[in-house]
Chains A and B, each alone.
Chain A
């Protein structure tokens, strides 16, 4: 393990070598492009890493917009790298940000960066703070300089579900999802639960595309849902552009995700669940500038928030949203902001008819059970496939590999 002292001296040594050596000319010529070495020592450099392109009209763009808002803060420099795969390439990116750009805070925005990549680098650079989006920090298990943040965007999906239930004629909603993972299932369930507070007969059809970005399959899914009479679509994929546009072309309603996609569907856009990362990132950087760190306990390791904490936004209502729908949505949102509304309040059954949350039991947003969700609520058509409640089909085929729902920690 290298000491931070050694890094500084080595960097200086390289710089000295370069200045005196054959590359002296290059260094002088490139002074304008080479911002990292000219940064003043007081500046804090924050490194942002995205898994896809920065402008995808979706997940990564929401983060990049958050990062861009930091440029306004005095004493903060932002270093960004996009399209970094979840392999050891991301470790090298983090290292390079630390070594070359002098980053002291890393924001790794994709879930797959966490284990083993962020954890490995955090061990190696104990003085750098690593903030990871979506991971579940475990006290005592994970290094002290790792923090995890995420938003309860399902609150916004819950409200979007309320709007959707008002808009639908067929009482059938559609959800195009990438993968049956807890973050996604929670959105599907909250969307459905929100809709069913308005009309308990509303159902949500879910289609998993199996990929975070596959426009053709997303368009096929959207079209086949429209064929089945579904008239409101929402999604959880990295880039919802195609889903929203296809819905508009088919003349059905759409509810956005990640960012505001109202422009793509001027007729049918209802509302959307948006991130407000600028708020989250500004908070983090202000705290860091005040000298607070994860290590000295000034910054909590696990940061979560919903409407109440300014993690989320709701897209402005589209023209198709009726006044009563707006009222109902605003009311639900106000309750969520006030912290009075619990989405996961028993009794909740899954779509196999089994009780997953007992009557009278309330799971607040912070409940760990919700971060491990592996069921679809009553009213959702579809299955999480392959594990949890759905194992019968695989059983004969792969025998020993089948994982029982009972083995879920806390589930």
Chain B
């Protein structure tokens, strides 16, 4: 067997082994909690992947995470750790509503209104994270802390607007903006209940991959990310790169907010702040900031989230079980990253037997 095959096999087996190990640990956890692990496995499978209907649930949960993950993954190529996804997302949603209502009020046809909403979301989210980039570049403010602080500020701003100036008085007990007319809402993919946010997410991930790996811009960003000082010496416009890549990242999160508004809620309210931002940060880091991998990790997280309900309903486990499950899966996957090139089975001889999953029990201590 050639080395290429061996390396490919390694790339497939190690993540699968990590998932398997996580399932074993989680099974033990469930057994300790008094649930039948095999019943739990069956339920997870049934609720997340078992049928087209339940797989759609997974897709629905995954699609905002794909766009949101790019808000961390793109700037990471420049060496920036940005966790402001939540803020960019809610502002994107808010701006999309403002744009949609204004353009709808002018009587624009649906495609125009939808395009306007998308642009508004992209602009708001992009500018928000571009501020983070600007503060980093011009004031040397640490981007992680400023983006975290700006999350809270953005959420406060959303609440202030939704409870105040932009409130629809008919939204009685859940203060919301005026709704976007239903004809301007994003539809669902034919034959499914999955909205177009999934397509946008996949396309964005693909474009981001292309941008980073195949363009001069991406090359410049990767170079500067490797060593800012060297990049300056080489004459790369570090400031412009920082602003541009922060804008693009924020734009993706803003677009995620627009999708939430235009495909799900139809209006902006506090439900926009539903942790898709922090989920996106997690996805980006697990995917090692690779946009294609991010879309797969988003699917995985979507599947876990989709199976959260059935753990409560069929097995009497508390609502926090799904968080424990998530934690175990991601810790195990992270550990498995350290195994590349370490397992003798992928080194010496072609694997005749199925490789044993990497033992990650120690992650639980």
B-binding residues in A (CB < 8 A): 10, 14, 18, 23, 25-27, 29-36, 53-54, 79-89, 92-93, 95-97, 99-101, 111-112, 116, 134, 136, 179-183, 210, 371-372, 374, 385-388, 394, 397-398, 401-403, 405, 407-409, 411
Contact = CB atoms under 8 A, between A and B. Distances in A.
A90 B165 CA distance: 28
A17 B102 CA distance: 52
Contacts, number: 160
Contact of A30 (B38, B159, B174, B313): B38
Interface stretch (B113-121, B229-237, B303-311, B349-357): B303-311
Query: What size tier do the contact residues of chain B reach?
Result: 35 or more
Contact of B45 (A23, A95, A111): A23
B172 A182 contact: yes
Residue among A25, A96, A388 having the largest count of chain B Cβ atoms under 10 Å: A96
Nearest to B317: A33
B181 interface: no
Contacts of A32: 36, 39
A53 B309 CA distance: 13
A277 B53 CA distance: 33
B260 A101 contact: no
A33 B320 CA distance: 18
Nearest to A180: B163
Contacts of B163: 179-180, 210, 385-387
B61 interface: yes
Given A83-B319, A92-B306, A408-B169, 10 more contacts: A18-B50, A30-B41, A33-B35, A84-B309, A86-B274, A87-B265, A112-B271, A374-B169, A386-B164, A411-B169
A33 B39 contact: yes
Nearest to B98: A401
B288 interface: no
A78 B166 CA distance: 40
B201 to A, nearest CB: 14
Given A87-B271, A96-B57, A81 B312 contact: yes
19 contacts: A26-B41, A32-B36, A53-B320, A79-B313, A80-B313, A81-B312, A82-B312, A86-B271, A88-B264, A89-B305, A92-B309, A96-B309, A99-B53, A112-B269, A116-B266, A136-B172, A181-B173, A386-B164, A397-B165
B51 interface: yes
A81 B314 contact: no
Given A29-B39, A87-B271, A403-B168, A95 B174 contact: no
A27 B40 CA distance: 10
Given A30-B36, A33-B36, A82-B319, A100 B274 contact: no
A33 B172 contact: no
A100 B46 contact: yes
Nearest to B63: A88
Contacts of A36: 313-314
Given A30-B38, A30-B42, A81 B264 contact: no
A81 B169 contact: no
B306 A134 contact: no
A134 to B, nearest CB: 6
A26 B60 contact: no
Contact of A183 (B160, B166, B173, B265): B173
B43 interface: yes
Contacts of A180: 163
Interface string B189-220: 00000000000000000000000000000000
Contacts of B318: 53-54, 82
Contacts of B25: none
Contacts of A181: 172-175
Contacts of A134: 173
A386 B165 contact: yes
Contacts of B184: none
B164 A100 contact: no
Given A27-B42, A33-B35, A87-B264, A14 B173 contact: no
Interface string B315-353: 100111000000000000000000000000000000000
A23 B319 CA distance: 26
A372 B160 CA distance: 20
Contacts of A402: 165
